[in-house]
Amino acid sequence: MSDASLITRDLTIRFGGHVAVNGVSCEFRPGELTVIVGPNGAGKTTYFNMISGQLTPTAGRVEKDGTDITRLAPSARARMGLGRAFQLTNLFPRLTVLENIRLAVQAQTGEGWGFFRPVSRLTALEDKARHYLEATRLAKVADQPAAELPHGDQRKLEVALLMAMEPDIYMFDEPTAGMSLDHAPDVLNLIAEIKKDKTKTVLLVEHKMDVVRALADRIIVLHNGELIADGDPGEVMSSRVVREVYLGQAEGAA
Ligand SMILES: Nc1ncnc2c1ncn2[C@@H]1O[C@H](COP(=O)(O)OP(=O)(O)O)[C@@H](O)[C@H]1O
Ligand SMILES: [Mg+2]
């Protein structure tokens, strides 16, 4: 028996003639934060989309705790504990920050909308919602409509909603992209906090090297849709193949 919580086997997707992800086999374990790196267009987001269910692979499979989830809808995967940071389109834009978090908590606990819920349970929901509001340092914007938040706070709200779902697998795709320097540390501290819980599996797409160094237990490298390196952060980042990929890109950009 594998101790992996998430496995991809020969995961492949073709868009017309272009193979965006090509035969990626990889296992992810609880207590491990894996950073996925690779140049723009390497297939990182597409790989995530096939794991979370936004895209159906051309070939290969995705397994969570030994169950084949390759053909399940994203919502079914989320109910099984597979958590992808919400995109802004998943927010209720006219509801406040706190109301959005409350709905995510409610979805996670399976509470319905009945009139006759005991007050004690409503209080527990409210306490949890406040907890995630404060954990993500959004208390000062609790009553603002989600759509009116500055970009950095919206990204934090996405993380708050993900935490409120209490998944056992967390997926972050460039969580600090476009975020100002005063917001990014909050989000990275939250990820560091999640990582301390050794029952959680964390996948993080990130290219800022200081972030990678601070958080990665393991690094995998995608290049042209293929997994070209996998292992200890120090070894992977100093390997010849990875240096070629990154130096090649740096020269191209210069
Ligand atoms: N829906 C799509 N239709 C066609 N091509 C796509 C689609 N999504 C991604 N691609 C292509 O797949 C490749 C990988 O993209 P992506 O996964 O976004 O890379 P990364 O996240 O590593 O920058 C790119 O060449 C991109 O243009
Ligand atoms: Mg991407």
Distance, C-alpha 228 to centroid of its chain: 21
Distance, C-alpha 251 to centroid of its chain: 30
How open is the CA angle 235-237-242, to the nearest 5 degrees?
115
What percent of the chain stands above pLDDT 90?
65
Q: Using a 6 Å cutoff on CB, does residue 221 contact ligand 1?
A: no
**Closest C-alpha to ligand 1, atom 6:** 15
- pLDDT value at residue 111: 61
Q: What is the pLDDT of residues 110-133, one digit of tens each?
A: 665 555 566 677 788 899 999 999
Q: Using a 6 Å cutoff on CB, does residue 199 contact ligand 1?
A: no
pTM of the model: 0.90
Q: What is the pLDDT of residues 89-99, one digit of tens each?
A: 567 889 999 99
Q: Which residues, in sequence order, are bridge partners of residue 171? A: 84, 203
For 252, how many CA atoms within 13 A lie in the half-sphere containing its CB? Answer: 8
**Mean of pLDDT over the chain:** 89
| Six-digit token string for 34 | 């894996």
Does the structure show a pLDDT above 50 at 107? Answer: yes
Query: Which atom, in ligand 1's list, is nearest to the CA of 38?
Result: 22
Pick the CATH number of 1-81+167-254 from 3.40.50.300, 1.10.3720.10, 3.40.30.10, 3.30.428.10: 3.40.50.300
Which runs of consecutive H residues, i.e. helices, occur in the chain?
A: 44-52, 74-79, 97-109, 119-135, 151-164, 184-196, 209-215, 233-238, 240-253
Q: Using a 6 Å cutoff on CB, does residue 177 contact ligand 1?
A: no
What spacing in Å lies between the alpha carbon of 225 and ligand 1's midpoint? 9
| Six-digit token string for 1 | 């028996």
What spacing in Å lies between the alpha carbon of 40 and ligand 2's midpoint? 7
Q: Using a 6 Å cutoff on CB, does residue 53 contact ligand 1?
A: no
Query: Which atom, in ligand 1's list, is nearest to the CA of 15?
Result: 4
Least trusted range by pLDDT, from 41-45, 60-64, 101-105: 101-105
Whole-number Å distance between alpha carbons of 102 and 161? 9
- pLDDT value at residue 250: 54
- Size of the chain in residues: 254
- Give span(s): CATH 3.40.50.300, the chain: 1-81+167-254
- Token look-up 């200081």 returns 210
**Closest C-alpha to ligand 1, atom 10:** 20
pLDDT band at 3 (very low <50, low <70, confident <90, very high): very high
Which three-class secondary structure string do you get for 170-185? EEEECCCCCCCCCCHH
Higher-scoring residue by pLDDT: 55, 85: 55
Least trusted range by pLDDT, from 107-111, 138-142, 213-217, 228-232: 107-111
Distance, C-alpha 47 to centroid of its chain: 12
Residue whose CB lies within 8 A of the most ligand 1 atoms, among 15, 35, 37, 48, for a mutation test: 15
- pLDDT value at residue 247: 67
What spacing in Å lies between the alpha carbon of 76 and ligand 2's midpoint? 23
Q: Does the CA dihedral 80-86-89-90 come out positive or negative?
A: positive
Q: What is the pLDDT of residues 131-176, one digit of tens each?
A: 999 999 999 999 999 999 998 898 899 999 999 989 999 999 998 8
- Average pLDDT for 74-103: 86
| Six-digit token string for 141 | 């914007």
- pLDDT value at residue 253: 45
- pLDDT value at residue 177: 86
